[in-house]
Amino acid sequence: MIPTFEWTPAGINFLDQTKLPLEESYVLATDYRQVATVIRDMIVRGAPAIGVSAAMGVAIGIERSTAGDLPTLSAEVEIICRTLAETRPTAVNLFWGIAQVRDLYTRLASSGAPIPRIKQEVVALANRLYDEDIAQCKALGAHGASLLPQQGTVLTHCNAGALATCGYGTALGVIRAAVERGHRLDVLADETRPYLQGARLTAWELMKDSIPTTVLCDNMAGHLMSKGRIQAVIVGADRIAANGDTANKIGTYSVAILAKEHGIPFYVAAPFNTIDLETASGEGIPIEQRNPREVTHSNGKQMTPDGVGIENPAFDVTPARYITAIITEHGVLRPPYANAIRSMAAVSAGAMTAVSSVR
């Protein structure tokens, strides 16, 4: 297990993903504002990790509050939740994580629970969500493993691994589970411009697990597919709309179209809390625009002429028609996704905390 972040008595300790793979160092967040900065600056990133970090952020905000009465604390909780909700717009897990802790707070406060007990319970919940994320990733890994070839090469885009979760991974969790079951897999990791999550993070964590990994530039996948070198594609998700349209790291959409053209299965692996029943289709998913400097500069060095126009959308939406299956901890969803998602939601109602109240 790779300790992406953890709750400690001193604060929340985050492995600094901006420094990987060259340096393994940690950033300690001792208040909710620091947690917001850690999420915004991508010291922690990846939808499930962002969700649980945000839950811990609300919990640490409540735990460290000096409010002496519930009305004062409730006003602070609103500010804490708003601050965390404003960090990154696309991954629905952020809003889910905030809503989980805020809902518990509201229940306890409205029943007049004493502040010390509220503090204890919100911290316990945030830590439970952490453990549940690991269990969910292992469960979805078990459901997805048999979809991957017994022997072959699997392409992934961005990092949907231990680093993007609480320690096992979604897309890489499925790969890990398949390898644990004896599949002989080689992984191709798209470098994932401009932030290089594939080259820096996926390669780093798979090499730590001794899973054979090769990095390729984002524009090479089509060529390798045309040569029969890729047997499956598996990616994570930042938000899945109610009809199965899936937002994931920029470049995922192009890979999905290439996979369809070459008859290669394209899988999405995500915990069920990444499905946003309140968003009907991909058109309603907000796409984060990041700093142009991520495109203009590489390793601190300017790569583009002064003044040139720059685009930097951090995510794109893959229409559901390109997705062979969506792998969740409750099982594998197949098209038509609107029906399959509705049925799964009905049997896992607890997972579907309303998130509209915090965005």
Mark whether 209 is an active-site residue.
no
Minimum Å gap between C-beta 303 and ligand MRU is 20
Complex with ligand MRU: residue 100 or 248, whichever CB lies closer: 248
- Cα angle for residues 26, 85, 282 (degrees, 5° grid): 110
Q: How many residues bind ligand MRU (CB under 6 A)?
A: 18
Query: Which residue, 38 or 47, is less far from ligand MRU as judged by CB?
Result: 47
Q: Please list, in sequence order, all residues whose beta carbon lies within 8 angstroms of the beta carbon of residue 257, skipping any fewer than 6 positions away.
A: 322
User: Closest distance between ligand MRU and the C-beta of residue 86, in Å?
Assistant: 16
Torsion of CA 160, 163, 169, 174, to 10 degrees: 60
Phi/psi zone of residue 158: left (φ > 0), alpha (ψ -120 to 50 degrees), beta?
A: left
Q: How far is the CB of 45 from ligand MRU (least distance, A)?
A: 3
Dihedral in degrees, nearest 10, Cα atoms 108, 109, 115, 121: 20
Query: Quick one: tokens of 100?
Result: 């989980």
> Could you tell me the smallest distance in angstroms from the CB atom of residue 235 to ligand MRU?
6
Report the site for ligand MRU in 79-108 (rule: CB under 6 A). 91
Q: DSSP character for 268?
A: E
Binding range to ligand MRU, per CB under 6 A, among 111-119, 158-166, 183-191, 330-338: 158-166
Q: Are 279 and 145 in contact (CB under 8 A)?
A: no
Please say which residue, 91 or 178, places its beta carbon nearer to ligand MRU.
Answer: 91
Q: Given the residues 238, 245, 276, 316, select the one marked as catalytic.
A: 238
Instruction: Indicate if the alpha-carbon torsion angle 206, 211, 212, 217 is positive or negative.
Output: negative
Could you give the CA distance from residue 285 to residue 238 in angstroms, rounded to a whole number?
10
Residues 6 or more apart from 206 whose CB is under 8 A from it? 161, 172, 175, 187, 189, 213
Per-residue binding string, ligand MRU, 32-61, x by CB under 6 A, is -------------xxxx-------------
Q: Which residue is nearest to ligand MRU (CB)?
A: 236
Select the residue interacting with ligand MRU from 52, 70, 160, 177 (CB under 6 A): 160
- Smallest distance from the beta carbon of 165 to ligand MRU, in angstroms? 5
Give the x/- contact pattern for ligand MRU in 183-222, rule: CB under 6 A: --------------x-------------------------
| Near ligand MRU by CB under 6 A: residue from 63, 121, 205, 238 | 238
Under the criterion CB under 6 A, does residue 164 sit at the interface with ligand MRU? yes
User: Residues 96, 98, 100, 105: what is their CA dihedral angle, to the nearest 10 degrees?
Assistant: -160
Give least dist CB 108 to ligand MRU, A: 30
CA angle 247, 253, 255 (to 5 degrees): 130
For residues 5 and 58, give the distance between their C-alpha atoms in angstroms, rounded to a whole number. 15
Catalytic (active-site) positions: 238
Residues in contact with ligand MRU by CB under 6 A are: 45-48, 91, 158, 160, 164-165, 170, 197, 235-238, 248-249, 314
